Amino acid sequence: MTKSNTVGALAGFRVIDLTRVLGGPFCTQLLSDHGAEVIKVEPPQGDEVRDWGPPFKDGLSAYFAGVNRNKRSIGLDMRTKRGQEILFQLLEGADVMIDNFKSGSLEKWGIGYDEVLAKRFPSLIYCSITGFGADGPFGGFPGYDAVAQALSGQISVNGSPETGPTRIGVPIIDLATGLYASIGILLAVEERRRSGLGQRVDTSLFDTGVALLHPQAANYFMSGKAPVLTGNSHPNISPYSQYQTKKGRLFMAIGNDRQFRLLAELLGHPEWPTDPRFLHNPERVENRDALDAEITDALRDHVAEDITMALLAKGVPAGAVLTIPEVAKHPHTKHREMVVELDGYYGTGIPVKMSRTPGSVRTTPPHYGSATRDVLAGLGYDHAQVDELITDGVVYTKRAKAPS
C-alpha cells in the first residue's frame, strides 16, 4: 500500500490525542487510518516511547512508529494556564479528546471533565484509558500491560506446566484496550446523533484483561474449578495443539467431528474417528495425550507449510508456525496489504477493509512538535506569537530534557 488520497469513513472527525505509550496511540491510529484528523498533543519531554529502543530509524523508535502514523504532533505544557487555553482552542472544533493520564491528573490541573470540560464542551466525547479505573481497591494506580496481565489472571492461564505462568508475548491487553476504546468512542458518537451530547468513555487495562478471559472464566463460572495451565492445548477442544513435522511446526485447531474425520483421512488414519477413545470431542479431550502422540507420529514425514495448504484446502483449520519475517514476506500478507510502505516507513496494514471508504496510510509517524507551528497558525497565532509561546515554555517544537 502506498500513499492514498482516500478520505476514509471518519473524514471530518477530529481527535485531540493526549495519550502516550501504547493503548491510547493504538486507538487513535485506528481512527486516523480511517480518515480522522488526529492531533497528538505531547508533553514537553514527549511520548516516552520515542526513547524505547533500539531499533531506531531517522530519529524515531520502532515502538513509537508502529502506532503513530497519520497524526500531527504538537508539544504543549498543559500544566500552564496558557497551555490550557490552547487546549481549549483545540477542543472547540473537536469531536473527541482521549487521554491515558493517571486518574485525577486533569482534575489536579483544574480542567477535569465533569467540572470543566463537559460544561464548556457539552458535545465533546472524552475517552479515558487508565490502568485500573478511578476508584476501587486498585483505583488510581498506574498500570502497564504486563501488570494488568498478572492481576487480571491472564498470566495464570498462559504457559505450560513446564514453563509455569508466562506473560503473553505481545502486549495484548494494551492493544485490546485500544480496540475497546475505539469501539466506545464510536458508540458515543452514535448516541450523540440522538442526544446531541458527549459523554465519558471509561476503559481500563484491568477491565480489558478480565473481559478477555474466555473460555477460562466461563469454564470456572460453570464448573467452580480453577483453570490450569495447558500450554498449546485448548481446555475444551482436542486435537488443538502444536505439532512437530519433518520441517517446521504445525498448529491444528479441530473444532468438530467432521474436521477430525477429514484430518484422519488426509493423514492416512481413517480408523481414528471410529476409535472409542476419539469418537467425539469429549472423548478426544479425555484422551488428549494418546491422540496427540498418534498425530505427531503421522506428521513425521510431512513439511509444515505443505501440509498446511493440504489441510486448509480440505477445510481443516491448521497453520504452519511462521516467524515474523516469514509473515512479512508471505504472499497472502502482500495480497491482503497487511504490510504498508510510505516514504521509507513500514508498518502493519489496516485490518478493517471498507468497500466504499477504505482506510489509508497518508502520513508517516511524526517527529516531535513537527506540526506545532502549523496547528497554532490554524488557531490564529502568528509567527511572533508562536515564538513567544516557545520562549515562555508553553509550546514546543523540540523535546525538553526530562527532569533528573
HSE-CB for 99 with a 13 A CA cutoff: 19
Does the active-site annotation cover 33? Answer: no
Q: Pull the grid cell for residue 374.
A: 502549523
HSE-CB for 69 with a 13 A CA cutoff: 25
Alpha helices in 330-392 (DSSP H): 331-335, 372-378, 383-391
Q: What backbone phi and psi angles, to 5 degrees, belong to 114?
A: -65, -40
Residue 100 neighbours by CB under 8 Å, 6+ apart: 18, 19, 20, 21, 23, 24, 128, 129, 130
Please give the Cα distance from 303 to 34 (Å, whole number). Answer: 40
Q: Which amino acid does the sequence have at 188?
A: A
Q: How large is the C-alpha radius of gyration of the chain?
A: 25
In this structure, the number of other CB atoms found within 10 A of the CB of residue 21 comes to 20
Looking at 17, 174, 207, 292, which residue is catalytic? 174
Q: Pull the grid cell for residue 108.
A: 489536579
Please give the Cα distance from 233 to 153 (Å, whole number). Answer: 18
Q: Pull the grid cell for residue 205.
A: 487495562
Q: Which helix (H) or strand (E) holds 56?
A: strand 56-57
Q: Which residues are catalytic?
A: 174
